[in-house]
Amino acid sequence: MDHLIGGKFKLARKIGSGSFGELYLGVNVQTGEDVAVKLEPVKTKHPQLHYESKLYMLLQGGTGIPRLRWFGLEANYNVMVIDLLGPSLEDLFNYCNRKLSLKTVLMLADQLISRVEYMHSRGFLHRDIKPDNFLMGLGRKANQVYIIDYGLAKKYRDLQTHKHIPYRENKNLTGTARYASVNTHLGIEQSRRDDVESIGYVLLYFLRGSLPWQGLKTGTKKQKYDRITEKKVSTPIEVLCKSFPSEFVSYFHYCRSLRFEDKPDYSYLKRIFRDLFVREGFQFDYIFDWTLLKYPQITGGSKGRAEKIFGTDLVESKGFPEDTFRQRDRRLLRMSICQSMCIMIQIKDIVPLDTAALQEEL
């Protein structure tokens, strides 16, 4: 495809592919800005790019939602142009030797819950919560978590009438088995409670390094799903969260206590982690584990060392939200982290690569 897409976007090079088609690095020829371009053949068996673009349009303006730059038909392709984002949380987890500190996990938890809360407020479930579908931003947004991949998202409520979808059973598993809620494994129609439960599994995955139902050896995919279900259902929450703060047990007990149509108390879920953050004496300084690996001179809470690295005083804060920092300090930290990310990870790892209709990571 040699001509400009949408009259102003030029394809640079292919950076990924998946069930949806192909992904390219692109550039806005008017501004020089890099973008991500998804191409889906119009004759694909299960087209979803048009649906996903509608979700992007509906969610536009929300914090941590990539901007939709353009969508349309070019040659024999459906084409969607969105923001180019930074590494996924799975990329960063791997970079940090597959274990994240409590401080980093708590700084992420607040944003993950907020992203799902926003999607729910717009009437949609994500239904595929996993580390690969949360990406860090670039440049001045390098500390902001973005939620991506809406191919499996589902409308659960009419925004005008507020009518909720009906309770159903005997549903096939939709999403990624590793992080799916217990009710999803049991074939129950997903609702808001399932997205928040899945976030809990993501957080524990980061803390533990793995989940007990990973790596189960079976013959068929159905047998794998059955084994994962059995292991997940039979593992007490207290055992799953053993050696970690009791707030994680409280989180899961709350999520599993919700009824099908219940609206989760997102503020409560964020508050229990914020209170833990304060009690642990952590500083909300944007110094994630991957920052420390790139800049080993910095240690947690070491203001003096950070000044030498970033050339500015870091405002000390024991709580949330982000506005506890001066804007200049936040900008410098974000730019520094962005620069480290660009060095660490190849461009093909920086963008979302897959939107399969049904995925399983084992």
Which residue numbers are catalytic? 128
Q: What is the tally of helices (H) and strands (E) in the chain?
A: 12, 9
How many Å apart are CA 88 and CA 341, to the nearest integer?
Answer: 11
Under 8 Å between Cβ of 105 and 96: no
**Number of Cβ atoms within 10 Å of the Cβ of 311:** 9
C-alpha angle 356/358/361, rounded to 5°? 90
Alpha-carbon gap, residue 5 to 79, rounded angstroms: 8
The answer to whether 37 and 5 are in contact (CB under 8 A) is: yes
Q: Which two tokens stand for residue 68?
A: 């939709």
Question: How many other C-beta atoms are found inside a 10 Å radius of the C-beta of residue 154?
Answer: 15
Residue carrying the six token digits 């930290």: 333
- 38 annotated as ligand-binding: yes
DSSP string of 171-215, one letter each residue: PPP-SBGGG--HHHHTTPPP-HHHHHHHHHHHHHHHHHSS-TTTT
Binding residues for ATP: 38
Binding residues: 38
